Amino acid sequence: GGDWQLGPTLLGGGLGLVAVAFSLYVVYLLEIVKLTSPRARRREAAARERDRQSA
């Protein structure tokens, strides 16, 4: 094994956490955009209407 060094280990862990947090933020942001998009809202409403008619 090698010798672990605190600085690079913490830096790598911190960068990993930033990457995961950024990924979650982007997913959250895209969901917000989808919910506020009139086209997406109309498409979902049309899909619900089709489901209701076929039931």
The model's pTM is 0.57
Residue 35 CA to residue 40 CA, distance in Å, equals: 7
Least confident interval from 6-10, 12-16, 24-28, 30-34 = 30-34
Quick: pLDDT tens for 22-43.
999 999 998 887 777 777 778 8
In this structure, is the dihedral angle defined by the CA atoms of residues 14, 17, 21 and 26, taken in order, positive or negative? positive
34 and 40 Cβ atoms separated by less than 8 Å: yes
Among residues 48, 28, 47, which one has the least CA distance to residue 36? 28
Token representation of residue 13 = 């862990």
pLDDT band at 53 (very low <50, low <70, confident <90, very high): confident
